[in-house]
């Protein structure tokens, strides 16, 4: 049975949960608000953010246990193997693709994550970008005229002629002005309201398309169990997402000796020859920063050694040398490694003490 670690990571990110990969960093989803820039309205969307900081989270372990029916120890072993493969491919190929998430690349400051188009940021590509257009407001062309001033004709005191009824009516007409024209005010509110209704319709249409896209691209447990396929001409790494459940379980019973004990060279001579068939491991350093682990791994491989990487219980990345060994080569080989790389190098497998 294959365990698709990347698919489990994506499912957690869709639910707003953090994903921690030991020795690499953590992934989280962040909401990017809509913005207005250069006369355009860009829609909101969710983005995947990567940080090298380690967090105390077992969400990925719990998700793998629930989805594949594994015990806690086996799920942790699967995640550790997945993280080790990612680090190894970063060193060897300088690029690791995570399907539906993005690409990891080494940089001088550590590990760089480049997000690719995925289900989380689908709104960024589906919702339309609305271009703002200037609105021309209608201007009033009619100006209210001041009412004419009616000046009554002067009459001499000697002759006062009575004013006719027709003259009184004309004077009343001059005393009134026409009501203000409000049609232009109504036009000034019509166009903004129309643009607002069109914008709401576009947003509703985009949301409908986004929902349809997410439903059609939801992941399930039947996906392939690889991190990335090798790209022609670029050397993109193939990283197996998971391991067989039987293989993970076999690790628990692989060591038949006391791994917590540090043996002497005399005690090691009593080990059966079959014990050394899987090779020996010398640790040359343990690092809390991924960038330092990558530098040491590069140094080890440039010297012609086969590199080894693992995580200890404190979350530090161990970097070492893995080689085919025998009882007779235990002492001379570590002396050479101490001379070439680090004088404080020590044996992880077998746990034997070799004095300097």
Q: Is residue 166 part of a domain?
A: no
Average pLDDT, integer, range 244-250:
46
> What percent of the chain is modeled with pLDDT above 70?
70
**Per-residue pLDDT tens for 9-35?**
988 988 888 999 888 889 998 888 888
pLDDT attached to residue 52:
86
202 plus 124 within the same structural domain: yes
CB 126 within 8 A of CB 61: no
- Pick the last residue of a domain from 201, 223, 243: 243
92 and 217 part of one domain = yes
Does residue 237 sit in the same domain as residue 276? no
Kindly state whether residues 109 and 203 are assigned to the same domain.
yes
Which residues lie across from 310 on neighbouring strands?
A: 318
33 or 160, higher pLDDT: 33
> For residue 3, is pLDDT > 80?
yes
What is the model's pLDDT at position 192? Answer: 82
Indicate the SS3 state at residue 50.
strand
What average pLDDT does the segment 30-57 reach? 84
Residues 126, 3, single domain; the answer is: yes
Q: How many CA atoms lie within 13 A of 195 on its CB side?
A: 12
Range(s) of the domain holding residue 316: 255-349
Q: Count CA atoms within 13 Å of residue 307 on its CB side.
A: 26
Q: 332: domain CATH number?
A: 3.30.70.1070
- Whether 122 and 261 share a structural domain: no
The confidence score (pLDDT) of residue 313 equals: 82
- 189 lies in the same domain as 331: no
Residue that is written with structure tokens 């957690």 in the block: 12
Are 105 and 189 members of one domain?
Answer: yes
Residue 139 has a pLDDT of 56
Residue 159 has pLDDT above 90, yes or no: no
Q: What percent of the chain has pLDDT over 90?
A: 23
Q: pLDDT tens digit string along 132-146?
A: 777 766 555 545 555
pLDDT band at 324 (very low <50, low <70, confident <90, very high): very high
Q: What is the pTM of this model?
A: 0.44
**Is 70 exceeded by the pLDDT of residue 268?**
yes
pLDDT of res. 91: 82
Q: What would the mean pLDDT of 253-275 be, rounded to a whole number? A: 81
pLDDT tens digits along 162-181: 555 555 455 544 444 455 55
Asked if pLDDT for residue 225 goes beyond 50, the answer is no
Could you tell me if 316 and 279 lie in one domain?
yes
For the residues 316-340, what does the mean pLDDT come to?
94
| Same-domain status, 235 and 259 | no
Phi-psi domain of 187 (left: phi exceeds 0; alpha: psi -120 through 50; beta: other): alpha
Residue pair 318/310 in contact by the 8 Å Cβ criterion: yes
Q: With bands split at pLDDT 50, 70 and 90, how would you rate the model's confidence at 240?
A: very low
Is 177 within a domain? no
Q: Is the pLDDT of residue 78 over 70?
A: yes
Task: Mark whether 78 and 25 lie in a shared domain.
Answer: yes
Asked which of 243, 268, 295 is the last residue of a domain, the reply is 243
Q: In the predicted model, what is the mean pLDDT of residues 153-166?
A: 49
Neighbouring residues of 245: CB distance < 8 A, sequence distance ≥ 6: 1, 3, 68, 70, 74
Number of domains in the chain: 2
Instruction: Say how far residue 252 (Cα) sits from the centre of its chain.
Output: 34
Considering the domain architecture, whether residues 101 and 217 belong to the same structural domain is answered as: yes
Sheet strand arrangement including 96-98: 96-98, 102-107, 110-115
The larger pLDDT score, comparing residue 258 to residue 318, is at 318
Average pLDDT estimate for 318-333: 94
Question: Has residue 20 been placed in a domain?
Answer: yes
The pLDDT assigned to 243 comes to 42
**Among 100-104, 155-159, 317-321, which stretch is predicted with the lowest mean pLDDT?**
155-159
Identify the domain boundary among 243, 263, 278.
243
pLDDT attached to residue 332: 94
Determine the pLDDT at residue 145: 52
pLDDT at 109: 76
């Amino acid at each position: 049975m294959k365990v698709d670690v990347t698919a489990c990571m994506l499912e957690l990110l869709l639910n707003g949960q953090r994903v921690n990969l030991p020795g690499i960093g953590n992934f989280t989803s962040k909401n990017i608000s809509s913005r207005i820039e250069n006369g355009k309205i860009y829609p909101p969307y969710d983005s995947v953010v990567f940080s090298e900081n380690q967090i105390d989270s077992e969400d990925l372990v719990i998700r793998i246990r629930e989805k594949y029916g594994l015990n806690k120890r086996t799920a942790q072993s699967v995640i550790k193997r997945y993280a080790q493969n990612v680090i190894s491919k970063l060193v060897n190929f300088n690029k690791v693709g995570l399907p539906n998430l993005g690409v990891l690349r080494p940089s001088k400051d550590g590990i760089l994550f480049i997000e690719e188009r995925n289900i989380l940021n689908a709104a960024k590509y589906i919702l339309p970008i609305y271009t703002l257009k200037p609105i021309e407001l209608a201007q009033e062309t009619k100006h209210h005229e001041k009412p004419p001033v009616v000046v009554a004709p002067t009459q001499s005191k000697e002759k006062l002629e009575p004013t006719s009824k027709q003259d009184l009516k004309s004077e009343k007409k001059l005393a009134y002005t026409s009501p203000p024209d409000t049609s232009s005010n109504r036009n000034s509110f019509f166009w903004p309201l129309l643009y607002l209704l069109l914008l709401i319709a576009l947003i509703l249409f985009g949301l409908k398309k986004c929902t349809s896209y997410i439903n059609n691209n939801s992941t399930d447990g039947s996906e392939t169990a690889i991190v990335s396929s090798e790209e022609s001409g670029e050397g993109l790494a193939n990283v197996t997402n998971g391991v067989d459940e039987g293989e993970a379980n076999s690790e628990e019973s692989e060591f038949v000796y006391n791994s917590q004990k540090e043996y002497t060279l005399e005690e090691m001579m009593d080990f059966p020859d079959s014990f050394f068939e899987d090779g020996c491991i010398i640790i040359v350093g343990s690092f809390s920063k991924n960038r330092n682990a990558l530098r040491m791994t590069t140094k080890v491989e440039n010297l012609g050694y086969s590199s080894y990487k693992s995580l200890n219980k404190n979350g530090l990345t161990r970097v070492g040398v893995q080689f085919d060994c025998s009882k007779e080569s235990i002492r001379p080989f570590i002396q050479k490694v101490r001379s070439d790389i680090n004088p404080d190098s020590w044996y992880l497998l077998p746990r034997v003490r070799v004095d300097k």
